[in-house]
Structure formats: C-alpha cells, structure tokens
Amino acid sequence: MSAVIDDHGHAGHDHHHGPAKGLSRWLLTTNHKDIGSMYLWFSFCAFLLGGSMAMVIRAELFQPGLQIVQPEFFNQMTTMHGLIMVFGAVMPAFVGLANWMIPLMIGAPDMALPRMNNFSFWLLPAAFGLLVRTLFMEGGGPNFGWTFYAPLSTTYAPESVTFFIFAIHLMGISSIMGAINVVATVLNLRAPGMTLMKMPLFVWTWLITAFLLIAVMPVLAGVVTMMLMDIHFGTSFFSAAGGGDPVLFQHVFWFFGHPEVYIMILPAFGAVSSIIPAFSRKPLFGYTSMVYATGAIAFLSFIVWAHHMFTVGIPLTGELFFMYATMLIAVPTGVKVFNWVSTMWRGSLTFEAPMLFAVAFVILFSIGGFSGLMLAIAPADFQYHDTYFVVAHFHYVLVPGAIFGIFASAYYWLPKWTGHMYDETLAKLHFWMSFIGMNLAFFPMHFVGLAGMPRRIPDYNMMFANFNMISSVGAFMFGATQLLFLFIVIKCIRGGPAAAAKPWDGAEGLEWSVPSPAPYHTFTTPPDMHTLHEHRTGPKHD
Amino acid sequence: MSTELPLARLVRRLLFVVVAMFAFGFALVPIYDVMCKAFGINGKTAGAYQGAQTVDEAREVRVQFLATNAAGMVWEFGPVDDQLRVHPGASQEIRFIAYNPTDKPMSAQAVPSVSPSKAAAYFHKTECFCFTQQVLQPGERIEMPVRFIVDRDLPADVHHLTLAYTLFDITSRQPPVAVLPATPAKESLQ
C-alpha cells in the first residue's frame, strides 16, 4: 500500500519513529498520510465495485428488452451504484485527499484529531460491509433508488432496509467526524504566517465543504432515523395513513441532498484551482473571488433543494423562488470557470495528465452546469423530470467533475506520495480513454432523455436502441480504462523515475517544500513561511 | 502546541452544531405542517371549522368528490353523489358510504385533500368522518356525513374544486376495539 514507508534519511526528522510494522500499522495508525492512503484505496475499491454495478446496468440496457438481469435486481443495481459511488467512492476520496494534503498544505504536523481520524476511517468498511451484505439477503438489497424516497423505502421496502439505514448512520458519523477534523485542523494547526487568505484553495474549499457536511449529514441521519421509526416503531412521519406525508421525506432528504451535491464537487474545485495554475505557470487568477464564490455556492446550496421536487405540486411562488435561486448558483460557478480560463489565458501551458484532467474538468463540468440550468427552469423540468436527461446532467457534473478532479489530484500529487513519477504515456492513455468513454456513455443520454426515456427502468422503447448501445459501449470503455488507472498507480508505487521535491516547475504551495516521497512525519516544526511567499504574490519560476 | 484549549472548545462547538442540525431535521416535521397550513399548500385542510357565513347567492361553484383506497385497503368506499353545486358561505352535506366486505373487524382512517391546493384554505369542514377513525365489523356498511362550507372569500378564479379522500387500512396500528359505536352514521359535534 505505499511507498510512504520508504526510509528517507531526512536529517531533520530522525528523532521520530517510523511507521509500525504489519497489519497493526493500518489498524491503529493515527498518521494522516497512512489514513489518507487508506481512504484513497477504500474509495478506489468502492469505485470499482460501484462501477461494476454500472456495467451490469449498461449491459442490461445494451439492447431493449430484458436480457441479463431481472427488473428487481436492476433496481438494486441502480440504487447500490448510486449509494456506493456517492458515499463510498467520491466522498472518501476527497477525505483521503484532505488527510494527505491539508496538513502538508498548511504546514501542520498531522490532523488535529488523529485518533478520531482513525476511527472515522474504520467506520467505513463496517458501513459498506453492512450495505453490500444486503444484496445477499432474502428479498434483496435496497431497490428504491439512491434517493430512497418514502414510501418506497418504508412501506414497500425489502426487509434489508434496516441494514441500509444503519449503514447510512455509520457513514454519516464517519463523515461528520472527518469534517470536524478538517475544520479543527484548518482553524487550529496552520503554520504561523499562514493566514486564512493565504491558504491554498483546496484547503478553503475543503473547509467550506466540512461546514456543509457538519450542517447536513445530521439531517440525513435524522431522515433515516425517521424511516427507521416508521418501519419499526409505528410512527407516521412519512405515512399518510397516520397523518404523515411522503412529500415531507423529499423535503428533508433534499435539504441534505442538495448541499451534498456541492460536498461532492467543491473539493474538486479546490484541487483544480491548484493544478491549473501549476501547468499554466501563472498564479491563480482571482484568488479572493474564488474564496467568496465557494462561500456563495455553499450558502445558496441550502435554499434550492426543492428544485428536485418541481413536479410534486409546490405552489407557483415556490417554483419561481427555487427556480431563480437555482439559477443564481450559475453566477458564482461562472466566476470560477472564468477564473480558471483566465488563469490559462496566455499561460505557458503544458498538458501533463493532471492538467488534461483539469482542463477536461472545466469544459465538461460546464456542460453539466448548463444542463443543470435547463433543469432549473421549472416549467421545462416537468418534461425532463425523471428522464435520462437528469441522468446525463448529474453524470456530467459527477464524472468529469468529481471523478476527473480526483484523477487530476491523484496524478498531481502521486509523485509526492510515492516518490516516483507515474508513467506519463499510460496516464495520457488513461485520460483519453476516460474522456472518450465518458462522453460516449453520457452524451447520448441527453438525447434519449429529451425524447422521454425514463430513468431507472430496465427496458425501453425500440426508438432509443441506438443511443443506448452507444452509451453502453462508452460505459464499458470508461469502466475498463479504470483498471489501467489501477495499473498506473501500482506501477508508480513500485518504481519509476525518482520525483524531485517539486516535480512540477509551476507548482506552488508548502507541500512541495518537503521531499518526495513525503516523509512519514512532516512539519514537526512549523515551516518557514518565506518559502511560501511566492505562493500568491507572484510567479517565481524555477 | 498552545492550541489545546481552543481545540477542545472548537470541537465542542462543532459537536453542538451536529446535535442541533440533527434536531433541526426533526424540527422540519412541524415546520412542514406549519408551512403547509400557512400557505394553504399541499391540499391539506384544517381541522373542524366553527362558525357560519352568510350565503353568497350570486356565486356558484362546483365541488367534486373523490374516494380512493390506499394500497392494500379492501373496503368499498365512495360518495353518494359525484358532485354538488354550492353557493359559497352555505353549509352543505355530502355522505360517503363505506362497506367492510371481509370477515374480520377493521379500522380505517380517511385523509382528505383539496385541489386546487390554493383552495384548501377556503374549504371548511364543520363535520367529517376524517376527524375520527372508522371501525367496521365484518360485512358492516355505514354512511358517513361530511358537512362543509366553501368560504365566501374563495378566489374568484376558482370555479370548481375537488375534495378527495384516501382511505387507509390502519387495523394493524389501531386494532379495532369497539370504542366507537359504529352502526349509525355519527352525529358527533366537533
């Protein structure tokens, strides 16, 4: 699992013990780099598992008619794919990046609460063990969609729903602890001189993400608790028979769910804001506006939730409010896209793998943003609602948004993590295969969605056959390519050209002031902030 | 590190936010009801209405009645008339009939809803079987009255509204102990 165990003989850190040997190192570790690595590996496993479920879905949708799986199992696949990708792949990947990079970026020796850090990681295997186990239970696993709307998830749920609820509880606790840790680290452990407005944007976006998590994960815990009580303790939160209301579920869920969308994208914004300047060899354009835009997006995310529910019958004024509030989000997001493009403008661009993924991120995320604007138009949403257009939209923001952001981060910081350069040729192949596969898979979904193909259905009208076949081919291509990513990472861990402390000549930030691979303990004495001085004030190219 | 104390305080505050947000999730339940009531949305009607209004003879609106069984409910359930023409302000009565065709006693709860939802706040029920639960013995049939007043202030663009009842089987939640004398149509004053 990693080259961070390599001895490095860095004189300043000799008095520290290295990592423990064997399994107990990983079970008991409180080291932010170990925990970060575990998070990243966990997330990659979940990515492959959730991805293989997507392959089942696309295989079934390769042709109209039922070929491979039964509708019941298809429903479980769509549900588990969503749950595992959201809670198992994307969120832990960002927590892993935060663990690895935030202490290095702000000059802290570790996370502020290292033991809680260990606990919050080890809750995840327990949570996903519970969740995945449900697939093998009588009655099958969750089949009500990742949004688990009541009464599908209460009155009509399979028996295994209780395990699903506890899994959500556990991963919620894990996320909340991770978020508290990030806030405590960022607010308390910054090196002297590292003021808030000098922090790299990845730290900023994560700080704001952490506040979002602290605010909404408890609401998610609350909504699944209400489900649990409805199912087992005879309450009627969501049951009209007892005076409750299923629509209430959707309100509470989306009060969590919409900020959750930004939880999955803001850290990627931050990472890309480090990567684009590095490969443009220019400082980031509009740092301050980036910080405020992130804050604005986070605030707006709390007042737009009902745009997921335009069709449930909210009053006209409500539709208008949520429509305009949603469209307002395009403003701070537009500020960000503008800043990224301006950073590249007249830069000395090179296109190594991190930059390729980052540029694709900007372009494709914007496409996803625009389809989001289309969906925000309340009267039009009545046509788009629950069609493949929605599927196309959120895959365009999550795959080239969150996932490409994670790939870009991984390639950008792999030399720091492993001490080796990755194979650039293979990485570029990985990029182009992912880029083509992803667009093949998701772009045609816009068309079938606009033509009325409903989501979450294992069969479809003959007229959608060609586009669905293209989607499936693209999805298989994208899925298979991720095994190449695994190979590249393993190859990079095992060897490769030695990486300099700062392998990217345009990169800025404290993390490049420690050797590669990063020693097991870093910044046990706070760094000299003069090395950071060029971080924002101006380019000083090596 | 000199951050020992602030760290503990910071974490305590963050934990407080976590607990507060968990509570807020539950607080959304009454907030939702209050909002629905305040804005008259979701077609939810208020409880028993007390009061009388003068009749607006000049205006006439159509009130349609719908009865639906929730999934799993086997009673025969429906209104005696599909619709009534009423003058706003006038007290009207419509009867619904329920019949339990099974061989066991059952209890049921009817949940009303008015559409268009903006009219819900102007639809007053002075008496309704939905205010109580119904218990029917095997093979029993009852007539259940609803007495209502359509408010004089009903928006002028509403010419016709629908009162829909969904009947839920709540036998498992509320075992049919014969609390209510079920035979005659109840004349309870709310």
Q: Over 90: is that where the pLDDT of B117 sits?
A: no
| B10 vs A184, A222, A242: nearest CB | A184
Burial level of A195, CB count in 10 A (0-12/13-18/19+)? Answer: exposed
Of A108-122, A185-199, A224-238, B176-190, minimum mean pLDDT range: B176-190
Q: Over 50: is that where the pLDDT of B186 sits?
A: no
A80 Cβ contact list (under 8 Å, min separation 6): A50, A53, A131, A132, A135, A141, A142
Where is pLDDT greater, at B82 or A534? Answer: B82
Q: Distance between CA atoms of A89 and A499, rounded to whole angstroms? A: 28
Give residue-wise pLDDT tens across range A280-325: 999 999 999 999 999 999 999 999 999 999 998 888 888 999 999 9
Average pLDDT, stretch A228-255? 90
Of A85-94, A438-447, B2-11, B127-136, minimum mean pLDDT range: B2-11
Q: Over 70: is that where the pLDDT of B64 sits?
A: yes
Give the burial string for A506-532 (b: 16+ CB within 10 Å, else e). bbbbbbbbbbbbbbbbbbeebbebeeb
Q: Over 80: is that where the pLDDT of A6 sits?
A: no
Of A36-45, A72-81, A238-247, minimum mean pLDDT range: A238-247
Interface test mutation site (partner B, options A119, A188, A224, max chain B beta carbons within 10 A)? A188
Bond before A64 cis per omega within 30 degrees: no
Instruction: Please tell me which residue of chain B has the smallest CA distance to A236.
Output: B173
Model confidence band, residue A531 (pLDDT cutoffs 50, 70, 90) = low
The conformation of residue B69, written as its DSSP 8-state character, comes to E
SS3 content of chain A, % helix, strand, coil (to 5): 70, 0, 30
The conformation of residue A260, written as its DSSP 8-state character, comes to H
| A184 vs B11, B17, B28: nearest CB | B11
The conformation of residue A30, written as its DSSP 8-state character, comes to -
Q: Are A454 and A387 in contact (CB under 8 A)?
A: yes
- The confidence score (pLDDT) of residue B42 equals 67
Model confidence band, residue B121 (pLDDT cutoffs 50, 70, 90) = confident
Q: Are B106 and B162 in contact (CB under 8 A)?
A: no
A3-8+29-535 fold: Cytochrome C Oxidase; Chain A (1.20.210)
Evaluate if pTM is beyond 0.80.
yes
Which chain A residues contact residue B25 at CB under 8 A?
218-223, 226, 252, 255-256
- The confidence score (pLDDT) of residue A288 equals 96
DSSP class per residue in B96-153: EEEE--SSS-EEEEEEEEEESGGGGGGEEEEE-GGGS-EEE-TT-EEEEEEEEEE-TT
Contact B14 A214 (CB under 8 A): yes
Contact A315 B117 (CB under 8 A): yes
- The confidence score (pLDDT) of residue B169 equals 86
- The confidence score (pLDDT) of residue A13 equals 44
Give the burial string for A26-46 (b: 16+ CB within 10 Å, else e). beebebbbbbbbbbbbbbbbb
Which chain A residues contact residue B20 at CB under 8 A?
218
Q: Can you tell me which residue has the tokens 């706070």?
A: A526
Contact A222 B18 (CB under 8 A): no
Of A9-18, A270-279, A318-327, minimum mean pLDDT range: A9-18
The mean pLDDT of chain A is 92
Contact A247 B170 (CB under 8 A): no
Q: Are A369 and A398 in contact (CB under 8 A)?
A: no
Q: Distance between CA atoms of A490 and A37, rounded to whole angstroms? A: 13
**With a cut of 0.90, is the ipTM above it?**
no
| Run of H or E including B76 | strand B76-79
- Percent of chain A scoring above 70 in pLDDT: 94
Chain A segment 155-174 residues within 8 A of B by beta carbon are: 155
Closest by CA position to A143, among listed A370, A409, A497, A457: A457
- The confidence score (pLDDT) of residue A530 equals 62
Burial level of B181, CB count in 10 A (0-12/13-18/19+)? Answer: exposed
- The confidence score (pLDDT) of residue A130 equals 95
Can you say how many angstroms the Cα of residue A213 is from the centroid of all Cα atoms in its chain? 13
- The confidence score (pLDDT) of residue A16 equals 53
| Run of H or E including A392 | helix A388-397
Q: Are A510 and A480 in contact (CB under 8 A)?
A: no
Stated length of chain B: 190
- Percent of chain A scoring above 90 in pLDDT: 87
Q: Distance between CA atoms of A312 and A322, rounded to whole angstroms? A: 13
Give the burial string for A222-232 (b: 16+ CB within 10 Å, else e). bbbbbbbebbe
The mean pLDDT of chain B is 83
Q: Over 50: is that where the pLDDT of A498 sits?
A: yes
- Percent of chain B scoring above 90 in pLDDT: 29
Average pLDDT, stretch A498-513? 93
Give residue-wise pLDDT tens across range A368-384: 999 999 999 999 999 99
Model confidence band, residue A260 (pLDDT cutoffs 50, 70, 90) = very high
Contact A241 B169 (CB under 8 A): yes
Which chain A residues contact residue B26 at CB under 8 A?
222, 226
Catalytic residues of A: 81, 110, 146, 174-175, 258, 260, 262, 273, 307-308, 333, 336, 455
Of A173-182, A355-364, B131-140, minimum mean pLDDT range: B131-140
Chain B segment 69-108 residues within 8 A of A by beta carbon are: 70-71
- The confidence score (pLDDT) of residue A483 equals 97
Which chain A residues contact residue B17 at CB under 8 A?
214-215
- The confidence score (pLDDT) of residue B188 equals 43
Q: Over 90: is that where the pLDDT of A30 sits?
A: yes
Q: Are A26 and A1 in contact (CB under 8 A)?
A: yes
| A218 vs B1, B25, B117: nearest CB | B25
| Run of H or E including B61 | strand B61-69
Interface test mutation site (partner A, options B4, B14, B166, max chain A beta carbons within 10 A)? B14
Average pLDDT, stretch A151-165? 93
Where is pLDDT greater, at A146 or A537? Answer: A146
- Two tokens at A5? 């165990």
